[in-house]
């Protein structure tokens, strides 16, 4: 086991040691354990420099687009990947074979219970767009998932009681969407800089729940948002490999669906799957963010003025 120092790691909030959702006894202290912190600190120290380099590359691309000297296109240096018919992604993982109906929502306790009770195949538990990234939302989202996966997520309010309709193994498959590479968790500092929010969300969920999910006959599954380059997918793949090795489960146990919701990523879809390969569970289009990305990236091009968003439907040529 790799030894990880927590020197120069600062948590800027107090850790709640009392259970907030009784009768469950789970607290934030059960999530932010020393072992879990060592794990996410290791991931951050290993991969944060590369993360920052990739974010800087986004700005380089934007400056070239703004100048009019560059146009987005398929990358010539990865033509061999696009043209090679011999590689393929893995077979579908348990719980991901049928995704014909999928629901999404933030990891609030009552909404999580309602989503797991819904007549759907999969449930994207969203730490990103549908969840305001406050400290309580993020850490109690982890508490709620911890309890749900262990079938201990009953929740009572003065007006209503919430409980799962059955064993979570037989309910919709959980797919967690962490925050994107561009975000940080400002309440936890590592070596005088805030930890990557992606690593914070992914790492805590994975560390506490991966083996429990395997026992349920499923696995640790993720949605990856806001990527703009296939090397950002490679970075996720590298994180996955280190994480699985760290807790002693086979590589390929993690599966990740990538949201194609930026214009640059639309030109690198094959490469994104290739970079994730054994961890890939396909692609999904994120409509509104894709439209936003198109407006943002082509902001200086007068030939790319979009109409009102209600006229940009999924039948529009560039969305179809």
Contact criterion met (CB below 8 Å) for 31 and 37: no
Domains of the chain by residue range: 9-311
Rounded CA-CA distance 210/213 in Å is 5
Neighbours of 134 (CB within 10 A): 10
Which positions ≥6 away from 86 have C-beta within 8 Å?
A: none
At 160 the pLDDT is 87
Rounded CA-CA distance 272/195 in Å is 24
Which range (20-29, 175-184, 227-236) has the least confidence? 20-29
Tens-digit pLDDT profile for residues 53-77: 999 999 999 999 999 989 999 999 9
Question: 287 pLDDT band (50/70/90 cuts)?
Answer: confident
- Say whether pLDDT at 128 is over 70: yes
At 1 the pLDDT is 65
- Say whether pLDDT at 169 is over 90: yes
Which positions ≥6 away from 124 have C-beta within 8 Å?
A: 102, 103, 104, 105, 175, 176, 177, 223
How is domain 9-311 classified at the CATH fold level? TIM Barrel (3.20.20)
At 47 the pLDDT is 99
At 203 the pLDDT is 99
Tens-digit pLDDT profile for residues 308-318: 878 888 888 77
Question: 320 pLDDT band (50/70/90 cuts)?
Answer: low
Which positions ≥6 away from 126 have C-beta within 8 Å?
A: 104, 105, 106, 107, 177, 223
At 286 the pLDDT is 83
Considering the chain, what is the average pLDDT of its residues? 95
Type and span of the H or E element at 308? none
At 231 the pLDDT is 99
At 58 the pLDDT is 98
Residue located via tokens 């940080």: 184
Query: Regarding predicted confidence, which is higher, 176 or 22?
Result: 176
Crossing angle of the two packed helices 230-247 and 34-67, in degrees rounded to 10 = 170
Which range (119-128, 134-143, 150-159) has the least confidence? 150-159
Rounded CA-CA distance 190/47 in Å is 12
Six-digit token string for 316: 């529009």
Q: What is the DSSP string of 235-289?
A: HHHHHHHHHHHHHT--TT--EEEEEE-SHHHHT-HHHHHHHHGGGEEEEEE-HHH
Phi then psi dihedrals of residue 248, to 5 deg: 80, 40
Query: Regarding predicted confidence, which is higher, 242 or 290?
Result: 242
- Say whether pLDDT at 103 is over 70: yes
Output b/e per residue, 100-122; b: 16+ Cβ within 10 A.
eebbbbbbbbebbbebbbbebbb
At 265 the pLDDT is 98
Rounded CA-CA distance 12/220 in Å is 29
Task: Read off the pLDDT of each residue in 118-127 and give the average, rounded to a whole number.
Answer: 98
Tens-digit pLDDT profile for residues 186-239: 999 999 999 999 999 999 999 999 999 999 999 999 999 999 999 999 999 999
């Amino acid at each position: 086991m790799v030894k990880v120092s927590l020197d120069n790691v600062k948590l800027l909030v107090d850790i709640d040691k009392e259970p907030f959702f009784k009768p469950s006894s789970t607290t934030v202290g059960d999530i932010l354990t020393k072992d879990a912190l060592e794990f996410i600190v290791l991931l951050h120290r290993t991969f944060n420099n590369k993360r920052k380099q990739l974010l800087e590359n986004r700005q380089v691309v934007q400056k070239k687009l703004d100048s009019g000297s560059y146009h987005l296109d398929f990358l010539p240096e990865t033509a061999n990947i696009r043209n090679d018919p011999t590689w393929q992604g893995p077979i579908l993982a348990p719980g991901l074979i049928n995704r014909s109906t999928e629901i999404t929502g933030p990891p609030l306790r009552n909404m999580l219970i309602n989503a797991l009770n819904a007549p759907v195949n999969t449930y994207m538990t969203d730490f990103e767009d549908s969840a305001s990234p406050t400290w309580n939302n993020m850490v109690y989202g982890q508490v709620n998932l911890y309890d749900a996966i262990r079938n201990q997520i009953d929740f009572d309010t003065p007006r209503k009681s919430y409980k799962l309709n059955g064993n979570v193994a037989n309910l919709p498959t959980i797919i967690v969407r962490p925050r994107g590479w561009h975000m940080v968790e400002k309440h936890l500092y590592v070596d005088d800089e805030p930890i990557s929010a992606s690593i914070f969300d992914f790492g805590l969920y994975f560390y506490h729940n991966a083996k429990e999910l395997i026992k349920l006959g499923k696995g640790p599954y993720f949605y990856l948002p806001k990527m703009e380059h296939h090397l950002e997918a490679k970075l996720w793949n590298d994180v996955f490999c280190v994480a699985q090795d760290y807790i002693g489960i086979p590589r390929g146990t993690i599966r990740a669906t990538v949201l194609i919701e930026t214009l640059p990523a639309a030109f690198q879809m094959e490469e994104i799957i290739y970079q994730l390969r054994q961890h890939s569970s396909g692609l999904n289009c994120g409509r509104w963010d894709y439209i936003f990305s198109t407006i943002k990236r082509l902001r200086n091009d007068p030939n790319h003025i979009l109409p009102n968003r209600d006229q940009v439907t999924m039948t529009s040529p560039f969305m179809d």
